Amino acid sequence: MSAISSSLSVASLAATPSANTSTATQKVQQPANTAGDTVKLTVSQQVYQLYNQGQTVTQIASSLSMAVSAVNSYLNISSQQ
């Protein structure tokens, strides 16, 4: 039992932040500047991304407010006749 209690005391010491780790933790917890981190995807990129995520052509067309034929065109899918 002494081995278990000594490992618990080591774990409790590791869980207690020192002054240096507290400062580092505060820096990590600060939110990122989202204004500079925004990326605008083109319609073509959005279509490919949604398609690669498993959405159907109809779902993509609906979510991007475009025609199914336009989505097919972006994905180089020929329309079935």
pLDDT tens-digit readout, 15-59: 555 555 455 555 555 666 666 788 899 999 999 999 999 999 999
Residue type, 36: G
Q: Kindly report the pTM of this predicted structure.
A: 0.52
Given a contact cutoff of 8 angstroms between Cβ atoms, the answer to whether 74 and 47 are in contact is yes
Domain segments of the chain as ranges: 43-74
The mean pLDDT value for 60-67 works out to 96
**Radius of gyration over every alpha carbon of the chain, rounded to an integer in angstroms:** 26
